Amino acid sequence: HTQASEARAADSGAQASARFKDRAAAHRGDQPVDHERVNLLAGKAIKALTDIVYEDKVSYEEYNALKSWLIKVGEDGEWPLFLDVWIEHAVEDVATEHREGSKGTIEGPYYVEDSPEYEWDAKIPMREDEPGTPFRFKSKVTAVDGTPLSNAKIEMWHADEYGLYSQFAPGIPEWNLRASFLANEDGEFDIKTIRPAPYQIPTEGACGQLIEAAGWHAWRPAHIHVKVSAPGYELLTAQLYFPGDEHNDDDIASAVKPELMLDPKPSSDGEGEEVQYDFVLDPE
């Protein structure tokens, strides 16, 4: 690996850890510790691991390899990456199983709150010479009862043509390919962006080491992240995918669902592609 790519992995891990700590600190003290729940969950987690030790006769060599690796996950700032890639999908399924509206999926490690706000039909901030196929994203947001939500907001963020996220890779303008859009009176959006590239999670850190040692791959299919919200409705966090991507069926983060597949068509203005994808929100 090049020094530049190592620097990039360390950079995105440190950024993701620092940002998560800030957000968590803002909510600290919201809830008292539920000792019964901690006893149950920590107890079960520890038992799951010791069961594996007995079942698979884990050796001291393997135990020490695990210890070294866990230390390195922290040093590389990759706890957000590790957890969001391998665990979050289950948490998201459980959190949203009661919903009647649109399916969601995981947030992942690269969301940033409070992105700049734009009108319903704006272009996402991008560099003058931003590479990539122009992509027009049209959407209508309604409630499960069919009411159009005129005060809906879509926050959108995605990687660029090189698979890099602004604020997590160096040298990219702060809000590049990140914005919040405010619906028109019919709950509609007409957003101009570019098609993101497939994304390889950083391979130079502890997560990459695990992937390599286990003989897995590091790819996620190309995806656009969104958070769709409206006052009085449950926040919908989702990612949208492109048909034909070779990693739709083996996403390293297990975050693809058939309901999240886009159906892009050549754009009516002859430039790039466009898609209509609507969202249905559940009342709070």
77 binds Fe ion (CB under 5 A): no
Q: How far is the CB of 166 from ligand MBD (least distance, A)?
A: 12
Which parts of the chain are beta strand (E)?
Answer: 117-118, 134-143, 153-157, 178-182, 188-194, 199-200, 219-220, 223-229, 236-241, 265-266, 273-276, 279-281
Give residues with Cβ within 8 angstroms of 208, minimum separation 6.
9, 201, 202, 218
Q: How far is the CB of 28 from ligand MBD (least distance, A)?
A: 24
Please identify, using beta-carbon distances, which residue of 201 and 230 lies nearer to Fe ion: 201
- What does the DSSP assignment read for 55-114? HTT--HHHHHHHHHHHHHHHHTT-HHHHHHHHTHHHHHHHHHTT--S-------TT--SS
Please identify, using beta-carbon distances, which residue of 144 and 261 lies nearer to ligand MBD: 261
Q: How far is the CB of 172 from ligand MBD (least distance, A)?
A: 14
Please identify, using beta-carbon distances, which residue of 101 and 108 lies nearer to Fe ion: 108
Q: How far is the CB of 16 from ligand MBD (least distance, A)?
A: 9
Please identify, using beta-carbon distances, which residue of 187 and 202 lies nearer to Fe ion: 202
Which of 235, 237, 240, 234 has the alpha carbon at shortest distance from 220?
240
221 binds Fe ion (CB under 5 A): no
194 binds, among ligand MBD, Fe ion, none (CB under 5 to 8 A by kind): none
Instruction: Give the integer Cα–Cα distance in Å for 264 and 38.
Output: 46
**Using CA of residue 52, residue 106, residue 250, residue 176, what is the dihedral sign?**
negative
Residue with tokens 């914005």: 179
Please identify, using beta-carbon distances, which residue of 190 and 245 lies nearer to ligand MBD: 245
Position 193, amino acid = T
What residue spans of 121-260 are helical by DSSP H? 206-214
Q: Which residue is nearest to ligand MBD (CB)?
A: 108
Q: How far is the CB of 67 from Fe ion (least distance, A)?
A: 30
206 binds, among Fe ion, ligand MBD, none (CB under 5 to 8 A by kind): none
Instruction: Give the integer Cα–Cα distance in Å for 268 and 78.
Output: 42
What are the residues binding ligand MBD (CB under 6 A)? 81, 84-85, 106, 108-110, 199, 201, 220, 253, 255
Instruction: Give the integer Cα–Cα distance in Å for 86 and 275.
Output: 30
106 binds, among ligand MBD, Fe ion, none (CB under 5 to 8 A by kind): ligand MBD
Please identify, using beta-carbon distances, which residue of 23 and 265 lies nearer to ligand MBD: 23
Please identify, using beta-carbon distances, which residue of 7 and 46 lies nearer to ligand MBD: 7
Site for Fe ion in 82-121 (CB under 5 A): 108
What element of type H or E holds 39? helix 35-55
Q: How far is the CB of 215 from ligand MBD (least distance, A)?
A: 20
Q: How far is the CB of 223 from Fe ion (least distance, A)?
A: 6
Instruction: Give the integer Cα–Cα distance in Å for 78 and 150.
Output: 39
253 binds, among Fe ion, ligand MBD, none (CB under 5 to 8 A by kind): ligand MBD
What residue spans of 219-284 are helical by DSSP H? none
Interface positions with Fe ion (CB under 5 A): 108
